[in-house]
């Protein structure tokens, strides 16, 4: 019996040590968790000035005034840009005909005469795309009357020259054909089988959908238009949300979570009017490009004048409210809606003069299906020529899914010049 006493004492001692270790681990876990939430709370309300070792209220950061010594609170901020010229290259109509612009003649379709693969690569890079550039030819006889002249063609030895500089005007194409470009494998997804009245869906079906997060919390939706650029709405960035370091972009997820890619540029349209919701568009540049795959893939920017018909079927996606004043969705939602004609949307029974040329309307006039607050900035897409095109970004509306109050979206067609100009200036 006396021989068992030391063993019992040893077992008791080991048990006490294990309990102490376990207690320390639990306490440390609690402290780390508490520290994380305290850090998040502080970051949501204050900006830390590292040079002067002090906190300032977050609303003082990026307000145009230097509140930290050295002005570090004004260094990494949202910016605004207003384009004052015509971006000289575009793809036009559903055929994606390549056109270049000159002040004297206007828009001219590019003939296939002398065209090479290198011209294709150079032109797509000018539009901000470097992956999978392709060109095809289209007979002039198949063009609409607006695109049958004047024409332009590349000069010899201009393969690496910006396309609007590399061309010379001609009256007709000797080859009888023009160039059509496809600059990326955008808008292509596997077979498809907030949104108020919507249904759960998978990110693989809409891989351009992203969540814009401020301090790890979903704030708005957005659309990948290249591995590094996201189109969203300007109204997602009021004065207190203009510090770049507070933002991240979550991609490739069907269920809402936190984290994602850091951001090194947020650029809103310089003409954005918060009172009228006009020019409601912004671009975010990721610090590093995403890796394209089944769950992360850009949507296509539409060719100019795609001319989507009234009542055309559209899709809107996001993690917005499932009903007005309800809870946000935890899983990605999609809704099938229709384009509402401009004459209907600007009628007195709908929105009247509140809808500008920079806006389009979509939804179901009788109500029941719509995009709600949390979907702001998210994609409105239209399928054409076997690819999905971004034709709108969720902007505003009266309530959610109410009769004669459809969703109003930024008209991407009207913003293409601004988008391409911003991307070119920030490559």
CA distance 425 to 64: 23
- CB neighbours of residue 341 within 10 Å: 14
Q: Is 280 a catalytic residue?
A: yes
Contact 32, 48 (CB under 8 A): no
Counting every residue written for the chain, the total comes to 427
In terms of C-beta density within 10 A (0-12 exposed, 13-18 middle, 19 or more buried), how is residue 170 classed?
middle
Contact 247, 220 (CB under 8 A): no
- Selecting among 73, 205, 278, 280, the annotated active-site residue is 280
- Selecting among 376, 384, 395, 413, the annotated active-site residue is 376
In terms of C-beta density within 10 A (0-12 exposed, 13-18 middle, 19 or more buried), how is residue 37 classed?
exposed
DSSP for 303-337, written as a single string: PBT--PPTT-EEEEEES-BSSTT-PBPSB-EEEEE
At 83, is the secondary structure helix, strand, or coil? coil
- Selecting among 119, 235, 248, 413, the annotated active-site residue is 235
CA distance 58 to 40: 13
CA distance 334 to 368: 13
Q: Is 139 a catalytic residue?
A: no
Q: Is 200 a catalytic residue?
A: no
C-alpha dihedral (388, 217, 287, 263), degrees to nearest 10: 100
Question: What is residue 395's DSSP assignment?
Answer: E
Token pair, residue 298, equals 């850009």
Positions marked catalytic: 235, 280, 376
């Amino acid at each position: 019996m006396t021989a068992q006493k030391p063993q019992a004492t040893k077992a008791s001692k080991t048990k006490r040590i294990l309990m102490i270790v376990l207690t320390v681990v639990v306490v440390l876990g609690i402290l780390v968790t508490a520290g994380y939430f305290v850090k998040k709370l502080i970051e949501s309300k204050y900006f830390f000035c590292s040079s002067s070792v002090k906190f300032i209220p977050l609303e003082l950061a990026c307000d145009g005034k230097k509140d930290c010594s050295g002005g570090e609170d004004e260094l990494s901020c949202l910016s605004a840009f207003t384009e004052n010229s015509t971006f000289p290259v575009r793809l036009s109509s559903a055929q994606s005909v390549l056109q270049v612009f000159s002040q004297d003649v206007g828009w001219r379709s590019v003939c296939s005469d002398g065209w090479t693969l290198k011209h294709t690569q150079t032109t797509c890079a000018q539009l901000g795309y470097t992956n999978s550039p392709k060109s095809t030819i289209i007979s002039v006889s198949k063009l609409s009357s607006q695109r049958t002249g004047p024409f332009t063609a590349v000069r010899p030895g201009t393969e690496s020259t910006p396309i609007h500089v590399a061309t010379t005007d001609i009256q007709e194409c000797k080859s009888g054909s023009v160039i059509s470009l496809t600059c990326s494998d955008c808008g292509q997804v596997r077979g498809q089988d907030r949104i108020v009245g919507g249904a759960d869906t998978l990110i693989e079906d809409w891989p351009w959908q992203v969540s814009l997060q401020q301090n790890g919390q979903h704030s708005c939706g957005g659309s990948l238009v290249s591995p590094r650029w996201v189109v969203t709405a300007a109204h997602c960035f009021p004065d207190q949300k203009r510090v770049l370091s507070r933002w991240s972009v979550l991609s490739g997820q069907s269920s809402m979570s936190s984290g994602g890619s850091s951001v090194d540029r947020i650029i809103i349209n310089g003409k954005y009017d918060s009172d009228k919701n006009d020019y409601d568009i912004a671009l975010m540049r990721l610090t590093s490009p995403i890796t394209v795959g089944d769950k992360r893939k850009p949507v296509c920017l539409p060719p100019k004048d795609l001319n989507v018909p009234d009542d055309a079927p559209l899709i809107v996606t996001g993690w917005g409210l499932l009903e007005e004043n309800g809870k946000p969705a935890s899983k990605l939602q999609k809704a099938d809606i229709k384009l509402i004609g401009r004459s209907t949307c600007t009628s007195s029974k709908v929105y009247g003069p509140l809808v500008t040329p920079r806006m389009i309307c979509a939804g179901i006039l009788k109500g029941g299906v719509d995009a709600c607050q949390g979907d702001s900035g998210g994609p409105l897409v239209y399928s054409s020529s076997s690819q999905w095109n971004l034709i709108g970004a969720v902007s505003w509306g009266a309530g959610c899914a109410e009769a004669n109050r459809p969703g109003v979206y930024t008209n991407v067609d009207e913003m293409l010049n601004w988008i391409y100009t911003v991307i070119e200036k920030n490559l």
